Structure 1
Amino acid sequence: MNSAAVQVAPARAERRGFQRVRVKIYGRFMLEDRSEHPCQVIDMSPGDAAVRADKPGEPGERVIAYLDHIGRVEGVVTRLTDDGFAMTVIASERKREKLAAQLTWLANKHELDLPEDRRHQRVAPRNPITVLQLEDGRQYRCRILDLSLSGAAIEIDVRPALGVQVTLGSMRGQIVRHFQDGIAVEFAALQREESLEAAFTDR
């Protein structure tokens, strides 16, 4: 008899269960009329996002966004803002966990002592699958989530200790951070874009 109240409460709790992270993520989004528009996400959680855009759509309208470093995100416009809109994120539990890891990396990378990491353009490998090799020769397949001239965030099943020397593809570096689905590697030297492309796009 009070089943409606039981169903409403968890939904409301879930909406408030994610903490937004301030980010600066560029991308584009598609509205229901299949028109595409550029956008910038200014803060985001695994459950919702605030988006800056010239053409915001209407409340209740379904949106598909393609965001740098994040990938494809589906959602619904919840309200309009002065410079864009807010949206909920529609995703499976697994997708939300991966999104949380990506957002943690994006938020924390500014705290890494790598000022060049923020100045240089990201490199998008054509094939993100590569190999991480430890000093003892053990090798693990991994997926590159985010790649810059100074380092990379990779999705991998193992968690070598911080400071361990590794080789990612053909790039030497060390592990500087753990996050939920993987690790961050700082390259031993600042790379050139051409060397990264040679290391990761032809594999």
Structure 2
Amino acid sequence: MPALREGSASTRQPDARTTALRVVGRFLLPGGEEHACETRTLSPDHAELVTAVQGLPGDGVTIYLDNIGVLSGVITGVTPSGFCVAITVSPERRARIAARLDWYVARARGMAEQRSDVRIVPAATAVRVRLPDGDELPGRLIDLSMTGAALAVDARPDLGATVTVGKRFATVVRHLDGGIAVAFKLPFRPETFNESVVL
């Protein structure tokens, strides 16, 4: 599936609004291959992706980012951990992306503050983790917040993959030494979140 394109290609450099921002997602290369990714920096004009699969400079690419949407662009260069993309969209679409980024940065900051304020180690740390392929493994909760958890588990699903932690659906947002960090699809309610919670 060829990459979608809007507007004309651009080789502009990252602008002043470029933000160090980690957003998980996936991307499509011209041959139709889909791969997981995570942004390292992001602006309405430019993105740097961290991924195990590198594209080629000049290739079109379509990127799907959680809570941001679809971005179309052209690969401008490769890095040791991925590649850089010049985002090629219409001015109207660029303005919508900028507004969405502002919203996402504010949301991410609020979630980080919430997690740093309310982080616990529950009394019951043993948990079952169901992987995207259906396999189920034993895991251990390293810590827990209302919006996510750090888990010790013998698996490294792709960033952006959906897993089940106990009975909760979650998205893999980071790889840890010996485990993963996940964001819950549905956060805990404050009245149900305490050390006695069982996933």
> Does structure 2 retain, via aligned residues, the 8 Å contact 1:18–1:46?
no
Cα RMSD, aligned residues only: 2.9
1:120 aligned onto 2:118 = no
Larger radius of gyration: 1
Matches of 1:111 and 1:55, distance apart in 2: 29
Aligned to 2:57: 59
Aligned to 1:26: 24
Aligned to 1:42: 40
Check 1:108–1:56 CA distance in 2 against 1; reply closer, same or farther (3 A cut): same
Matches of 1:44 and 1:63, distance apart in 2: 15
Check 1:106–1:191 CA distance in 2 against 1; reply closer, same or farther (3 A cut): farther
Matches of 1:39 and 1:15, distance apart in 2: 21
Aligned to 1:69: 67
Unaligned residue ranges in structure 2 (runs of 5+): 1-9, 119-144, 149-184, 193-199
Matches of 2:35 and 2:147, distance apart in 1: 25
Q: Which residues of 2 match residues 89-108 of structure 1 at below 5 A?
A: 89-108=87-106
Matches of 1:64 and 1:18, distance apart in 2: 23
Matches of 1:79 and 1:119, distance apart in 2: 38
Aligned to 1:162: none
Check 1:29–1:110 CA distance in 2 against 1; reply closer, same or farther (3 A cut): closer
Question: Match of 2:21, SS?
Answer: strand
Aligned to 2:81: 83
TM-score by length of 2: 0.51
> Does structure 2 retain, via aligned residues, the 8 Å contact 1:28–1:65?
yes
Q: Residue by residue, what CA displacement relative to the aligned partner does 1:129-174 show, whole Å, maximum 9, x if unpaired? A: xxxxxxxxxxxxxxxxxx9648xxxxxxxxxxxxxxxxxxxxxxxx
Aligned to 1:178: none
Unaligned residue ranges in structure 1 (runs of 5+): 1-10, 122-146, 151-188, 193-203
Question: Match of 1:111, SS?
Answer: helix
Displacement of 1:31: 0.5
Check 1:36–1:80 CA distance in 2 against 1; reply closer, same or farther (3 A cut): same
> Does structure 1 retain, via aligned residues, the 8 Å contact 2:49–2:82?
yes
Q: Residue by residue, what CA displacement relative to the aligned partner does 1:74-95 show, whole Å, maximum 9, x if unpaired? A: 0010000010000010111121
Matches of 1:119 and 1:41, distance apart in 2: 24
Displacement of 1:191: 8.6
Displacement of 1:64: 0.5
> Does structure 2 retain, via aligned residues, the 8 Å contact 1:70–1:99?
yes
Matches of 1:37 and 1:16, distance apart in 2: 24
Matches of 2:98 and 2:65, distance apart in 1: 14
Aligned to 1:129: none
Which one scores higher on RCO, CA 8 angstroms, separation ≥ 6? Answer: 2
Aligned residue pairs total 118
TM-score by length of 1: 0.50
